[in-house]
Structure 1
């Protein structure tokens, strides 16, 4: 499908076409829809599945880097919903940036929640306050203060081909960084680290660098009030260095009684790949809650 600003988005379908419930899965930052494979296998007998690559990721089209923002991916998610699930109840699932896109959609189109959207699965994500320091964050804030951020993004767009030609993938240092940032205390075997490295390094470096700026501004805490209308499951990992456990707890507390918090000991940011059974069980529990509640959307 094509967005209203002309970006082609890759969308896939799985599961039961005649199922009464649709589940839309949004992947994380620098990943692609393939990261949902373990959940895809577990859910296809229960629902119609919609998976999509966010702009600039996977098989979706290149994005103007000035539109590499969570606000824009929220609009994209809404347009995917309108195009491929225009009627019937929907559960939205998002990992990391995918969860942020769901929160952005809740702010932009609150009327969908409690009507068409009947549940939300938020995995290793944050509602705001994620990037407080670091050299990159400091430099982006300086660029914004000097009103040079758009120039920075324009230069990235121009330099993109050269940056990609000189980029080295599959390096030992890259694996070490991914091992530290995306895995937990005891869930990083060699095969999993290499798989995640390959998955993440497919995203063009300029897209990664452009999206980083949006995490400094990311604050969707107001959207959590909208999520009170539907059952929500929040999964947080105790050794997640990118979206720490405290962020998941804050989401669950803000949503209130309708939220179920699942904390996974020892796991890191890639919890859906390394603690598959725990995540799949939590996901199935959410679908049970949606169905028991007898919620229907038109």
Structure 2
């Protein structure tokens, strides 16, 4: 599996350009014998921690899970003011917050969760109307609201200390929306950002329909057709179940760029199938209206890693290249032949880049 890397180094210079094996997190993963296939022997959906509920500003309950770091990790060791309290954000080890994509849930971070469990403090949550979180009304099924939800999750789960945000697909849009609405937190609270297979606008929403509908219902669907289908969402859901074999084939073609184990395809297809079509329709209009490219300059205050597959059929590689152009100090990792579900398909390379991001963010924050 080849890859194309485009690195733009900021004030950290060559230190940021070290191979992942040379970073603090990467070294620790090697020392603990966490290999490039961490999580391969763990059933999908089985990685869990005690759940907690964060209430969004409109009252929707969000399902959240926090994996705490084990003692004696290299990113800890600064003095605390009390349980969970640090004297300054730059003195605390970062919490990494993972934000999943459209019609998925927190389980989609399986290989990242397996690789980082116990090494860094990590927060995973189901976005509104997804997974085990509560249902949103249609009025609040927007990218702007998802940015506010992320702010609420941070307030509740990381009241002190720095944060690295990592978002995939719609989760990346949530991160960008957060940065757009709360720019004062970028460089203070948020010390690093990872954007995976995502965009800040200009997305053609019709691209995302194929793996979510039986083939006979895709055709020339428009926003009006999606709205009409949403009124009969129960019938659409029934058709999706009946046409599961066709849907699985579509999931494979649209989610992955190359051959992957069948369990990967089934795993993604299960998450898609568990998302009611009414939820698909609720969020659908928000994608076309989302445009935050002009707000990306704020991200140049922190290390940013942009990761994409060159065979992504949902958020094409051009979106990531445009993000990189708008955030000049960012790093762009293009994974040749990989598709939209790159955190699964190329999890080893994605994790290596996240090693770099966490280390760069921590180093820069400590140098302030």
TM-score for the superposition, normalised by structure 2: 0.72
Distance in 1, matches of 2:221 and 2:292, equals 21
Say if 2:287 is the partner of 1:215. yes
Asked if residue 41 in structure 1 is aligned to residue 114 in structure 2, the reply is yes
- CA-to-partner distance for each residue in 1:190-218, whole Å, 9 max, x for gaps? 22111110122111111012211111111
Shift in Å, 1:125 = 0.4
Q: Distance in 2 between matches of 1:165 and 1:133?
A: 21
Match of 1:16 among 69, 82, 96: 69
Q: CA deviation at 1:46?
A: 3.1
Counterparts of residues 1-298 of structure 1 (less than 5 Å): 1-16=54-69, 19=76, 20-131=93-204, 139-140=222-223, 152=227, 156=230, 160=233, 164=237, 167-168=240-241, 171-184=244-257, 186-257=258-329, 259-295=330-366
Do the aligned partners of residues 195 and 76 (structure 1) sit closer, same or farther apart at CA in structure 2, a change above 3 Å counting?
A: same
- In structure 2, the CA distance between the partners of 1:85 and 1:205, relative to structure 1 (3 Å rule), is same
CA contact (8 A) 1:234 1:252 kept: yes
Gaps of 5+ in 2: 1-53, 77-92, 208-217
Does the 8 Å CA contact 2:67/2:118 hold for their aligned counterparts? no
**Residues 212 and 137 of structure 1, relative CA distance in 2, 3 Å threshold:** farther
CA distance in 2, matches of 1:163, 1:138: 14
> Conserved in 2, the CA contact under 8 Å of 1:118 and 1:295?
no
Q: Whole-Å Cα distance in 2 between the matches of residues 268 and 122 of structure 1?
A: 15
Could you tell me how far apart the structure 2 residues matched to 1:272 and 1:49 are?
Answer: 16
Instruction: Report the more deviating stretch, 26-35 or 45-54.
Output: 45-54
Name the counterpart of 1:146: none
CA 1:32–1:180 in structure 2 vs 1: closer, same or farther (change >3 Å)?
same
Structure-2 change in CA distance of 1:136 and 1:87 (3 Å): farther
Over the residues paired in the alignment, what is the CA RMSD in angstroms?
Answer: 2.4
Query: SS in structure 2 opposite 1:191?
Result: helix
Q: 2 CA distance for matches of 1:8 and 1:133? A: 29
Count of matched residue pairs: 285
Q: Distance in 2 between matches of 1:125 and 1:7?
A: 25
Per-residue deviation at 1:183? 0.8
TM-score normalised over the length of structure 1: 0.88
